[in-house]
Amino acid sequence: MPNWNEIFKEFQRRQAEAGQAFDLVRREYLKQLNAHTGRNVIAYYSGWMSKPGIAGLLINDEDKNGFMSAVHGLDKTKGLDLLLHTPGGSISSTQSIVDYLHKMFKDDIRAFIPQSAMSAGTMIACSCKEIWMGKQSNLGPIDPQLSAIAAYGVLKEFKRACKEVKDDPKKIPIWQSIIGQYRPTFIGACENAIKWSNEFVRQQLSTVMFRGDPQHKKKASAIVKKLTSYTKNRTHERHVHYDECKAMGLKVFLMESDQTLQDLVLSVHHCYMHIFMNTAAFKVIENHVGAALIRSISTGR
């Protein structure tokens, strides 16, 4: 299978031939991946690495329209292989998309992570029966962020403030200036976001990935604890690679175990990375038969 540079050369050759190289090449590899696995393929890709700061890069409610389009007409009995590359996004949108996909494919969904599925992207991966990663792939912590502020960090800071003020009242002015910046109900909102995200991932792991396992609740709780450990993870951007995912108990498999599968998944991945770098597109939701929602900077769609 071709590497990054070879795929770009293929784009250049096909552009000269047909004028639609990016679509033609990408869809050929999606079809080949489908032919290899015998399963439906949907790619959910965000161009946040190439085009940071654009509205719409994160998981949001509009994405469900793309998934509905991609699911329409597929043979649902063949299951779904979901290729994920996303920085994360809305918990409510994530939960709604996951619920929809489970209803369509009866929980027969595998997540493929060619490079990164962070935050809510990790939550989607944890809602699948299996996660396939390469040695270069990573998930991320699932601690919720409110207005780009770590909810766990806020609660930890608040507890520290309460303790220090109790031990030394002279520190009241210091902490007052810090805590005073929080809007009313913000502490409660952080607590609710943490509870919501934890319960959602725990439930998905327990009922999908570990369905039928006598230890399903215990395993799910242990994984959620590790993915939300603010002390260990230190930052929401921390990359959690295959070995650590395996060690925490997730059902993860190496794409390297099937060389053809790995080559096809990475070829598809390179195609999406090239269109984000060389076109106005910043998000794509697409299946293996060519149905796609492509959002771009120029049109917003």
Confidence of residue 155 (pLDDT cuts 50, 70, 90): confident
Confidence of residue 261 (pLDDT cuts 50, 70, 90): very high
Report d(CA 208, CA 146) in Å as an integer: 28
pLDDT of 20 > 50? The answer is yes
Condensed to tens digits (0 to 9), the pLDDT of residues 236-246 reads: 778 999 999 99
Same domain, 23 and 120: yes
pLDDT of residue 50: 94
Confidence of residue 19 (pLDDT cuts 50, 70, 90): very low
pLDDT of residue 4: 60
Confidence of residue 14 (pLDDT cuts 50, 70, 90): low
Say how many C-beta atoms besides its own lie within 10 A of residue 199's C-beta: 11
Same domain, 72 and 129: yes
Same domain, 23 and 38: yes
pLDDT of residue 234: 66
pLDDT of residue 300: 47
Report d(CA 258, CA 162) in Å as an integer: 54
Report d(CA 26, CA 104) in Å as an integer: 25
Task: Taking residues 65-90, report their average pLDDT.
Answer: 97
Report d(CA 240, CA 231) in Å as an integer: 15
Condensed to tens digits (0 to 9), the pLDDT of residues 109-129 reads: 999 999 999 999 999 999 999
Q: What is the mean pLDDT of the chain?
A: 90
pLDDT of 7 > 70? The answer is no
pLDDT of 299 > 60? The answer is no
Confidence of residue 10 (pLDDT cuts 50, 70, 90): low
Same domain, 34 and 123: yes
Q: Where in the sequence is the domain holding 295, given as residue range(s)?
A: 1-140+239-301
pLDDT of residue 1: 62
Last residue of a domain, one of 233, 250, 283: 233
Q: Strands 292-296, 281-287: parallel, antiparallel or unpaired by DSSP? A: antiparallel
Same domain, 14 and 136: yes
Condensed to tens digits (0 to 9), the pLDDT of residues 139-150 reads: 999 988 777 777
Same domain, 49 and 133: yes
CATH number for the domain harbouring residue 50: 3.90.226
Same domain, 128 and 152: no
Same domain, 80 and 103: yes
Report d(CA 88, CA 284) in Å as an integer: 14
Structural domain count, the chain: 2
Last residue of a domain, one of 233, 261, 283: 233
Same domain, 194 and 244: no
Condensed to tens digits (0 to 9), the pLDDT of residues 187-201 reads: 888 888 889 999 999
Least confident among 167-176, 202-211, 253-262, 289-298: 167-176
Same domain, 43 and 134: yes
Task: Taking residues 152-161, report their average pLDDT.
Answer: 81
pLDDT of 221 > 70? The answer is yes
Q: How far apart are the first and last CA of the chain?
A: 31
Same domain, 175 and 93: no
Same domain, 6 and 101: yes
pLDDT of residue 134: 97
pLDDT of residue 13: 66
Last residue of a domain, one of 233, 264, 280: 233
Confidence of residue 161 (pLDDT cuts 50, 70, 90): confident
For residue 118 the two structure tokens come to 């962070």
